Amino acid sequence: MSGFLSNKIHRRLLVAVPAMLLTVSVAFAQQSPQRPANTDDDAAAAVQKPAGASAAPAGGNRAGGRMTSAEATRAFLGLGVAPDAAAAERGKPIYAQNCAGCHGPDARGGIGPNLLYSSQVLDDDHGEKLVPFLKVGRPDKGMPPFAGTPDRDLTDVAEFLHLQVENYANRGTYQNNNNVLVGNAKAGAAYFAKNCVQCHSVTGDLKGVGGRIRPLDLQRAMIFPPREDHPKRAIRATVTTAAGTVEGVVTRIDDFVVVLTQDDGTVRPFARGEGVTVALKDPLAWHKDFAFRLKDKDMTDLVTYLGGLK
């Protein structure tokens, strides 16, 4: 029961602070580019895995034990039981007819409150709490009872509401099918030659990249290059104490402790304080700053150029 309650509280907090959700969901793959490079906060946000560790989230149910990105995001955010998509589709017109006038077409509020923050919605899984609540309503606050509506219909409405929470909180389920290859490939090539050839090559690491990575993922990777499955992108640190110097991958860092995993797999924790210095090195620091330098036109041109490299 304690785990159940903890999960409920977790879900409520996550949805109640949507701006924090986006930050947290990205944090494990890429630190916020608004912070200066090589800060303790950056490394703490990354919480990287030791080199060679499996990148698959626990409990993955795909080939090789890996989750899809949407499933991994759901698990990380603690969103609980997945909505029943078929029931949500049945509940959509029922909600539209009876609820959208007050709460908005996507339950984000109108003359009535935003239901994505509602405790009745967030504390419910499959209608076991919402259905009795909807039967009674809140006449004193202008919400009529739905005593004559079949339980099956109200359960479908509950699933529709859960799906709206899911879509709002879990960016991993969102699919953008827009065509982004609409820029000037020649201009993109010139931009690449001026800004990117110091680290990348269209005959090396980016050879045929347009045939390997879909354009939207390529665009995303420019701003938030993934660390998962890329050991060379791990944040490293050099810790100097009176006993000497130790280097390794940062697996934890805060105001009190820094934990390194050395290249031989040895885990070394260090208490932070007087006489202990920590120097961080983030291989993705350039890309973090790049996110603020890159203009929309340059992004479009660059993606169009790279997307054409088959």
Q: Which amino acid is at 7?
A: N
CATH class of 236-281: mainly beta
Please report the pLDDT score of residue 225 as a whole number. 83
List, for residues 271-282, the tens digit of each pLDDT value. Answer: 999 999 999 999
List, for residues 135-176, the tens digit of each pLDDT value. Answer: 999 888 888 999 999 999 999 999 999 998 888 776 555 556
**85-169 CATH pick, 3.40.800.10, 3.50.50.60, 1.10.760.10, 2.60.40.1530:** 1.10.760.10
Beta-ladder partners of 281: 236
- Computed over every residue of the chain, the mean pLDDT equals 78
Nearest to 99 by CA among 73, 55, 126, 137: 137
List, for residues 80-102, the tens digit of each pLDDT value. Answer: 678 899 999 999 999 999 998 88
Using the predicted structure, report yes or no on whether residue 47 has a pLDDT greater than 60.
no
Return the higher-pLDDT residue of 239 and 53.
239
Helix (H) or strand (E) holding 104: none
Segments making up each domain of the chain, as ranges: 85-169, 236-281
CA 246 to chain centre: 32
Q: Which amino acid is at 262?
A: Q
Q: How many CB atoms are closer than 10 A to CB 133?
A: 20
List, for residues 151-160, the tens digit of each pLDDT value. Answer: 999 999 999 9
Please report the pLDDT score of residue 175 as a whole number. 59
